[in-house]
Structures are given as structure tokens and as C-alpha cells.
């Protein structure tokens, strides 16, 4: 029998992260569901995984808290062994015009995405390089590619994720570790709940928001052997927005 593969999804309690957890569990991964504060939502994700016949566990940590992340990942790899797939999905938005943006909104958004990438990816990379396999997928945004007004912090963070992933992909390609980015458009989650639907639909050629599962399926594809020659890429999933 082949060894069960393990995947870590940051921000797996809700929205896109939850859909990614379910999709990867359906593909046979033991899924580590990370979250920061919403334990009840994370438990719901885990119950959904188990109800569908999959396996996994909760792993709470704040991706910006480097020492805690390092300790949690050490414990997880000590207990469970190799983590073959990492999905850097945790993210926050704090929109506002740049001229009025308080420093905490800049730092919170950039730190969650970019320090989160560093803090979680680095400890998991070494074993991937040693085993010569692994897949790292980070969730960027259409905002990184077009630079939406009112999102300088978010666009900077999400564009940084693309640069970091491309650079890392170049460093790890020969060792068989693939690093890719998914750039969603506007997806039906809590993050977009307050946006006016009519105006949003005018921006999207397909005239609807995306569903979290439509991102999750692309993430699962990028993790799979079907994507074995894909690395350093940004895959847009946005209903034709670009």
C-alpha cells in the first residue's frame, strides 16, 4: 500500500482554504487545516473532510508568528513525517486609498502574505529538497496583476508572492520541488461579502463571481502528477477578467 501523503493548507477554516482542504482530502491527502482564530469554522472544515471519508487534523497558528509556526511545524513533521504539499492560502485585506492608509493596515496585509510565505514555507522546504519531491502553491490575486485601486497593500503583498514563488521555483526545480501560484479573480467568500454584486458582475466577463471549489480544483491539479512539468507559473482563475 502506498504511503498516505500529507498536505498543509494555511487559512483552511473558511472560504477558498476550506474548499482546498476538501478537494485535497478527496484526492487522498491527510489534510492539516490551519487557521488563526476561527476554531469553530476550522472544526467544521475537518468534519466535512471526515464526512466525505477523508482524514486530517487542525493545526492552529498565526502565520505571522515565526517562532510559533516553527514549533508547530516541528511537532507536526515529528509526529506525521513528510509534508508533501503546502498551500499558502491565508490572507487578509484592509482596503483603502494609499494616502489615507494607516501603517497597521499596510503591515498587517503585507506581513500575513509575505512573512506568512517565509515562515511556513521555509521549514517545510528542507525535507522536500531532501526527498526530491513536493509542491508549494500560493494564492495570489488578480489584484497583483492589475493593481486594483484602493488595494496598494494587498496588490503589493500578492505581487510579492508571485516574485517570491518564481524565484523559489528556479532554486528548487532541479530538486523536483514545484512552486506555483494561483491568482483568483473575485470569489464568493466572506472577503467579498460586502462588495456590491451588480457592480462586480460588470467587471467580470463571465458575469458571476467564482466559487471556492473552482479555485480548489486548480490547486489540486497543480499538486498532482498531471502538473509534473509545471513550475514557476501563475495560473489565473478569474472568469476572464484579464
Q: Catalytic residue numbers?
A: 154
Dump the DSSP string for 187-205: BSSGGGTTS-HHHHHHH-T
Q: 3-state class of 120 per DSSP? A: helix
Cβ 83 to ligand NDP shortest distance, Å: 16
Looking at 189, 216, 223, 231, which residue binds ligand NDP (CB under 6 A)?
A: 189
89 and 9 Cβ atoms separated by less than 8 Å: yes
Cβ 223 to ligand NDP shortest distance, Å: 16
Looking at 26, 27, 41, 94, which residue binds ligand NDP (CB under 6 A)?
A: 41
Looking at 66, 77, 192, 233, which residue binds ligand NDP (CB under 6 A)?
A: 192
HSE toward the beta carbon, residue 11, CA cutoff 13 A:
20
186 binds ligand NDP (CB under 6 A): yes
Reading the block at residue 186, the C-alpha cell is 473575485
Cα dist. 189→183, 192, 209 in Å? 15, 6, 10
DSSP code, position 98? G
Beta strands in the chain (DSSP E): 6-9, 30-35, 55-60, 85-88, 134-139, 177-184, 234-237
Looking at 46, 76, 90, 179, which residue binds ligand NDP (CB under 6 A)?
A: 90
Looking at 184, 219, 220, 223, which residue binds ligand NDP (CB under 6 A)?
A: 184
- The nearer residue to ligand NDP, 116 or 134, going by C-beta atoms, is 116
**Pairing, β 30-35 against β 134-139:** unpaired
Site for ligand NDP in 5-34 (CB under 6 A): 10-11, 13-17, 34
Site for ligand NDP in 110-129 (CB under 6 A): 112
Residue 239: name the closest of 184, 197, 193 by CA.
184
- The nearer residue to ligand NDP, 54 or 184, going by C-beta atoms, is 184
Looking at 8, 59, 64, 135, which residue binds ligand NDP (CB under 6 A)?
A: 64
Binding site residues, ligand NDP, CB under 6 A: 10-11, 13-17, 34-38, 41, 62-64, 89-92, 112, 139, 141, 184, 186-187, 189-192
Amino acid at each position: 500500500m502506498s504511503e498516505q501523503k500529507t498536505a498543509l493548507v494555511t487559512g483552511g477554516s473558511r472560504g477558498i482554504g476550506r474548499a482546498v482542504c476538501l478537494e485535497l482530502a478527496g484526492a487522498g491527502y491527510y489534510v492539516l487545516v490551519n487557521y488563526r482564530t476561527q476554531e469553530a469554522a476550522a472544526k467544521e472544515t475537518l468534519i466535512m473532510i471526515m464526512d466525505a471519508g477523508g482524514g486530517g487534523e487542525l493545526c492552529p497558528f498565526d502565520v505571522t508568528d515565526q517562532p510559533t509556526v516553527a514549533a508547530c511545524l516541528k511537532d507536526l513533521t515529528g509526529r506525521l513525517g513528510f509534508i508533501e504539499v503546502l498551500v499558502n492560502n491565508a490572507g487578509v485585506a484592509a482596503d483603502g486609498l494609499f494616502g489615507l492608509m494607516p501603517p497597521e493596515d499596510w503591515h498587517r496585509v503585507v506581513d500575513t502574505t509575505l512573512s506568512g510565505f517565509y515562515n511556513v514555507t521555509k521549514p517545510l522546504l528542507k525535507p522536500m529538497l531532501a526527498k526530491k519531491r513536493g509542491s508549494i502553491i500560493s494564492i495570489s490575486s488578480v489584484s497583483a496583476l492589475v493593481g486594483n485601486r484602493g488595494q496598494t497593500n494587498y496588490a503589493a503583498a500578492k505581487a510579492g508572492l508571485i516574485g517570491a514563488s518564481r524565484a523559489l521555483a528556479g532554486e528548487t526545480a532541479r530538486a523536483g520541488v514545484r512552486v506555483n501560484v494561483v491568482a483568483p479573480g473575485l470569489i464568493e467568500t466572506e472577503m467579498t461579502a460586502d462588495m456590491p454584486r451588480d457592480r462586480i458582475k460588470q467587471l467580470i466577463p463571465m458575469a458571476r463571481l467564482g466559487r471556492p471549489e473552482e479555485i480548489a480544483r486548480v490547486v489540486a491539479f497543480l499538486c498532482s502528477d498531471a502538473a509534473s512539468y509545471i513550475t514557476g507559473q501563475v495560473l489565473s482563475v478569474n472568469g476572464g477578467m484579464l
